[in-house]
Amino acid sequence: MAITSSAKKAIRVSARKKVLNDRRTKNMKEAIKKLEKSVKAGTKDGAVKMLPAAFQAIDKAAKRGVIKKNTAARKKARLSRLVK
């Protein structure tokens, strides 16, 4: 248990950041799953329309440090190859 006031504050801050990071991760994963589901269903037009939203979610996660830059690039490359 945290004793000093700064340690208590650090716990509060990290809890807030965790909520935001979890939300960003969830948005990214949902966008990717929707796109993959659309590709499996065979609706290429739908997948092409979903691609920018998935890219945006991945880029935001990378920008905020939720995932690394190279991981974001890899995910985007795989998704674009999947749609292609």
**What does pTM read for this prediction?**
0.86
Are 71 and 38 in contact by the 8 Å Cβ rule? The answer is no
Average pLDDT, integer, range 47-64 = 94
Q: What pLDDT score does 26 carry?
A: 97
Tell me the CA distances in angstroms from 26 to 2, 4, 10, 43, 50, one per residue in order: 29, 33, 24, 24, 16
Q: Which fold has domain 22-83?
A: Methane Monooxygenase Hydroxylase; Chain G, domain 1 (1.20.58)
Q: Which residues of the chain form beta strands (DSSP E)?
A: none
Q: Where are the domains of the chain?
A: 22-83
- Whether 16 has a pLDDT exceeding 90, the answer reads yes
Q: How many CA atoms lie within 13 A of 42 on its CB side?
A: 0
Residue 44 banded pLDDT, cuts 50, 70, 90: confident
Residue 32: pLDDT band (50, 70, 90) is very high
pLDDT value at 31 more than 90: yes
